[in-house]
Homo-oligomer: A and B are copies of this chain.
Amino acid sequence: MKNNRKEDLPFSMRGKSLLGQEMFKVLDKARRLEEEGIHIYHLELGNPRLQPPEEIIDACVSALKSLDVGYTSSAGHPSLRRALTLRYARSGQRAINMENVVISPANVIISQFLDLTCDRGDRVVLFTPAFPSYLAAATHIGLDVVGIALQSENGYDLTEQHIEAAISACPKAVIVNSANNPTGAVYSREILEHLALECHRHGIWLLSDETYGELCFGKMFYSLFPHDYPRLVIMSSFSKIFSIPGFRVGFSISHESVAEKLALSNSTLFSCLSAFAQLGCAAGLQVLDKYSAAIREYFAQRARECSNILNTSGSFRCMPPQSGFYIFLDIGRTGLDDFAFSARLLEEWQTAVTPGRSFGASYATSIRLATCGKYEDVIEGTHRVVRLAQELSV
């Protein structure tokens, strides 16, 4: 391509403000080292490597073999929409129908939600530390992002004061994420209902990202599903709960007018998703309760084990997460910032983690460990985090 790499091309405002996701850059860097034959301990991505339910793989393979490889509905495969509708309706907390359920990759739903509800310059509130895609999507769209910092002292819990601050910022939209990535916190029913009601009363759009809801072990999960406020969008994903992030399938539950827009956005953006991947997820729903009970127990055990390694080292202090598989770790005492620590950890200790600033500008003294990879790698990777700290005389 000649030597025109540095050419200053006239990208649009949105083109200029693309951030991407830091942990995918870390993944790329780690994969390049792997191509050189170096073994890497992957703790950067929430990329669960457990055995998914065989029902999912079987249904997907069987759809492929029967050549179910054509287009399907933009709103999602009817079988999967129906299965989700039944599952949620069975809770009896609210009547919904298929028109409320739209299938899209969960990461896309974040962009779609902001794109459908906010114009350039509008304000969106995030509670930080927050999943990087919220900031990446909001920045891409040109939104004014207000981060309301949760406190590590109380386990990054959401409180009435945080909600008051959020509403006072007069945002167009708020994103809440319980169970939380990266902190592992799980918010109470009372506080989530309070947030939803306040948003409803003030005409504020609310996205409730419930991707890790099925993975709560330290505290009871509360879904905002029972509330049919028209500006409330519930989203979740099959990636984490079934250990199949590569399927790229998630879903939203929303008011019919919103769901119609989400389906139109799917149609405009990517036409539809793979039928075979969606049929796999539909088969998985049949065994979800049994499977999730087992992996909840598994992740609880991992969270304890990794927290123990860190806490008994004397180099770190961390609270064991109440859900999921992330540990948001304060590395302030090492004297290195998040980028420097992560870079040295990868180069010297072959261990990939995500720098804290991916989750908000003020988290330069934190890193996130994802403990959902291969067991031996996660344990060894956690030990290597400790070893780097000890090398730094902490």
Which residues does A use to contact B, with CB under 8 Å?
1-2, 4-7, 9-15, 18-21, 24, 27-28, 31, 45, 47-49, 51-52, 57, 60-61, 64-65, 67-75, 78, 94-97, 100, 105, 107-108, 111, 115-120, 122, 133, 136-137, 140, 203, 228, 230-231, 243-248, 255-258, 261, 263-265, 267-277
User: How many copies of this protein are present in the complex?
Assistant: 2
Is there an interface contact between A95 and B276, defined as CB atoms closer than 8 Å?
A: no
A8 to chain B, nearest CB (A): 8
Enumerate the 10 nearest inter-chain pairs by beta-carbon distance, A residue then B residue, closest first.
A20-B267, A15-B116, A20-B264, A69-B246, A18-B264, A136-B268, A47-B70, A69-B244, A12-B119, A47-B71
| Given A111-B269, A255-B7, A12:B117 Cβ within 8 A | yes
- Determine the distance from Cα of A1 to Cα of B89 in the docked complex, in whole angstroms: 11
Give the residues in chain B near A261, CB-CB below 8 Å: 11, 15, 18
A144 to chain B, nearest CB (A): 14
Name the residue of chain B whose CB is nearest to the CB of A274. B246
A6, A75, A269 — most chain B CB neighbours (10 Å): A269
Give the residues in chain B near A268, CB-CB below 8 Å: 18-21, 111, 133, 136-137, 140
- Determine the distance from Cα of A271 to Cα of B78 in the docked complex, in whole angstroms: 25
Is there an interface contact between A14 and B264, defined as CB atoms closer than 8 Å?
A: no
A301 to chain B, nearest CB (A): 21
A71 to chain B, nearest CB (A): 5
A9, A95, A116 — most chain B CB neighbours (10 Å): A9
Given contacts A6-B257, A20-B268, A21-B271, list 12 more A-B pairs with CB under 8 A: A1-B256, A11-B261, A12-B118, A15-B116, A19-B264, A19-B268, A24-B73, A24-B74, A24-B272, A57-B67, A69-B243, A107-B271
Is there an interface contact between A107 and B270, defined as CB atoms closer than 8 Å?
A: yes
Option from B94, B228, B246 in Cβ contact (under 8 Å) with A70: B246
| Given A4-B255, A107-B269, A228-B1, A69:B116 Cβ within 8 A | no
Give the residues in chain B near A273, CB-CB below 8 Å: 248
Is there an interface contact between B1 and A96, defined as CB atoms closer than 8 Å?
A: yes
